[in-house]
Amino acid sequence: MSELDQLFAAHRAAGRKAFLPFVTAGDPDLDTTAEVLRALARCGASVAEVGVPYSDPIADGPVIQASYQRALDSGFRLPQVFDLANSLRGQFAMPLITMTSYSIIHRTGMNRYVELAQAAGYCGTIVPDLLVEEAQPLADVCRAADFSLIQLVTPTTPRERQIRIAELSSGFLYFVSVTGITGERHQMPPGLLENVAWLREQTPLPVCVGFGISTPETARTLGRIADGVIVGSALVRRIAEAESRAAAVESVTRFASDLIAALAEK
């Protein structure tokens, strides 16, 4: 079993729902990213997604796009995402995964990217722009290395295609809650709960929901049907608005703690 397999198996046995925060590597700097990750681990986050800044994000809204640009403008380069995980090794048990464009993996080389990420301490990656028709080679590389390949299902993905995506994924499935880009929202689209429930019946993989989750109420509702919730823009915005590293850590800690508490409610 991979690290994510073990984590979700333990969560299911305990009746616990996963909280998966997203942060952008290097925004505003790597030291802040590291401190925020340590704070999220202390709060009880299940898995942290570390975004690899990219100049042409596919589905990211203005908040995350701006964070990528800030990191790139400050000189962020790919090796630093591996340095980040290496610097945190042994400091907490919370697994780390990357979120990256397939173009970065392709340019690095599939085997080399997985090798570098795994050596640094990451246990998987989310690749939002990888089409299922082109996913088999990377899925094979990841399975051979016991490195999770998490792929996305959207509200407009035909159900037969959802099953195919699930077959080529590992770790968990990322269910996009809305059609569109990332960003904070205050209402769930019609049919979301039913669609997530259907997908969970089709695959043994955990199904976690992301895009637009920004309140404890939404997290609580989704936690009743999904295996976990993914929160990105609301966290990234708090980091961007903070006047200092300490203020960013305090804001993230308070917000994450509220969401984790909501997920624990029965």
Which residue has tokens 């590291």? 34
Starting at the edge strand found earlier in the chain, the sheet holding 148-150 runs: 148-150, 122-126, 96-99, 48-51, 18-24, 228-231, 207-210, 173-176, 152-153
> Is 60 a catalytic site residue?
yes
Task: Single out the catalytic residue among 3, 5, 27, 49.
Answer: 49
R_g of the chain, CA atoms, integer Å? 17
Tokens representing 259?
């969401």
Task: Single out the catalytic residue among 5, 27, 60, 227.
Answer: 60
> Is 49 a catalytic site residue?
yes
Q: Give yes or no for a contact between 103 and 137, defined as CB atoms under 8 angstroms apart.
A: no
Residue 213 carries which DSSP code? -
Q: Give yes or no for a contact between 227 and 18, defined as CB atoms under 8 angstroms apart.
A: yes
Q: How far apart are the first and last CA of the chain?
A: 28
Give catalytic residues, as residue numbers.
49, 60
